[in-house]
Amino acid sequence: MSLSKHVDPDELIASLREHSPKHRPNQHQHKTATHHYVYGSRYAASQEIPKFRIPKTGADASVVHQIIKDELDLDGRPNLNLASFVNTYMEPECDKLILENIAKNLADADEYPALMAIHARCISMISHLWGIPKGETAIGTATTGSSEAIHLGGLAMKRRWQDRRRKEGKSTEKPNILMGANAQVALEKFARYFEVEARILPVSKESHWCLDPKLVRQNVDENTIGVFVILGSTYTGHFEPVEEVSKVLDEYEKDTGIAIPIHVDGASGAMVAPFTGAQGKWGFELPRVHSINTSGHKFGLVYAGLGWIVWRNEEYLPKDLIFELHYLGGTEQSYTLNFSRPGNQVIAQYFNFIHLGREGFTSVMRNALQNARVLSKALEASGWYVCLSDIHRKRGSWGDGGTGTKIIDGVKDLVLQESDPSLYNSGLPVVAFRFNDEFRKTFPHIKQQSVSTLLRTKGYIIPNYNLPPSVEEIEILRVVVRESMSADLLDRLIADILETTETLMSCDAVDLESLAAPRSARIEKQVQSMGKHGRQEQEFSGTLKTTC
């Protein structure tokens, strides 16, 4: 039996420390009360909460929580932000799952195999939702949103184009990509960031404010890496005609031998169309569609921070874009623009797929579309507005150019005769509207922006903005109808829009000018002067801005 010497671990640890625990100075000692009443803390009166430099000493967690919470109360209510497509509600059980898994990193496959299994299931579910044919092996990934997904899809098209050109002994300079002028800024960002010429095609009333297939043929050439086709325009909610564009590119390939792929930007529509129907094919059933993206945090009904992209087959994602990682414990493949990111949103997406199922998603999307149709019909029935969106019109029937529907009685009793979306033009549950021609002629002094401004005082955020270049003289107001728009809230919204319009109609030009006037310089100076009192960050060089 070997001899052993007893070791006192406390002694050993103490000897390795620079100071014995008994005599070490308390780093956290400072003069403070043993407890704080939130509004009796130093941040209630004597000091402002730090804004530009980390404070020398900390504060009680409950105090910091309440002070920050009070400031955040100045934000608008998410369910009244009708400008945004981003989902703002999830089930309490899913909220609990999100919190329980908030620390899990989606980039660490070796540490979180169950999370990665759920990620793989989501990719499979989404690829089947988008019509992946038998024999194809879809590949995809979660992203931080559709912007990242679009960049990944565009980059894959560019690299495949470069590889093909090199094999043919041709130049890889001056690549270009086509998109409509209604494209969301993320598509233009791809072109600028990855040095691809953006051929932005004008939109018109005839093309329903979307990409015009006729213009596609006129603008593609041997340097075209692909075409972005948008399933759900940000401006008016229209679905662009993916199948028509595909046919145009088929004819071009037949004439020239040049194959040009399509990436479908389904940021919103790729989670609406599968449950409500679309006019024509748009998904992987079209061989020319190589990749599709969507925002899980839009009509995937997950909180902000989740996107998805899927390629129809591994061959459409060049291998030299995929990185193999070994330093987290195992071997994993990565094709993203970032690395570490929360994995709990992927779990939230899986929760929705399992919890709602196809039946639940169908119900949510059809309800949103039905509410959007009611809003559209009510606005046109008022006699003051016309809708540029067309989801409330019978399939194949489009906007009438600005006159709208004549005034009818009983707007509050307006009901939709049919709820079947296949009877109507397909699109997002979006209502894009403006003053009709008759209203603008009768009340030329009323600015449409004033409707948006006054509705904000009631808590609504409804943007007023111009359509894309070539039709930028047209201003529209836009409402995104999300899951949280109940029938009761819809009734209130309709009443508030019409009451606000009546208020503007009762004002003369002088009143409306004062409504739109900027804050006077005198008030600005007073506000800035008051802001200096007791401020700890006087040396901060930024400019203090105030808005009306």
Query: How far apart are alpha carbons 533 and 495 in whole angstroms?
Result: 43
Question: How much is the pLDDT for 410?
Answer: 42
> What phi and psi, each to the nearest 5 degrees, are found at residue 510?
-65, -45
**Sign of the dihedral through C-alpha 492, 497, 500, 506:** negative
Give strand ranges (E) for 144-281.
Answer: 176-180, 197-201, 224-230, 262-265
Q: How far is CA 286 from CA 131, 178, 283, 342, 441, in A?
A: 9, 18, 6, 33, 47
- Give exposure, 349-360, as e/b (b: 16+ Cβ within 10 Å): bbbbbeebeeee
Question: How much is the pLDDT for 421?
Answer: 83
Under a CB-based contact definition with an 8 Å cutoff, are residues 347 and 98 in contact? yes
pLDDT tens profile 74-104: 888 898 999 999 999 999 999 999 999 999 9
Question: How much is the pLDDT for 189?
Answer: 95
End-to-end CA distance of the chain: 86
pLDDT tens profile 285-336: 999 999 999 999 999 999 999 999 999 999 999 998 888 765 555 556 778 8
180: which strand partners?
201
Question: How much is the pLDDT for 542?
Answer: 41
Regions of the chain short of the pLDDT cut 50: 1, 20-21, 23-34, 404-417, 519-523, 525, 527, 530-548
Question: How much is the pLDDT for 402?
Answer: 56
What domains are there in the chain, each with its CATH number?
95-350 (3.40.640.10)
Planar angle of CA 150, 156, 162, nearest 5 degrees = 135
Cβ count near 483 (within 10 Å): 19
Write down the pTM of the prediction: 0.84
Closest C-alpha to 336, from 375, 371, 293, 377: 293
Under a CB-based contact definition with an 8 Å cutoff, are residues 58 and 32 in contact? no
Q: What is the 3-state secondary structure (H, E, C) of 446-515?
A: CCCHHHHHHHHHCCCECCEEECCCCCCCCEEEEEECCCCCCHHHHHHHHHHHHHHHHHHHCCCHHHHHHH
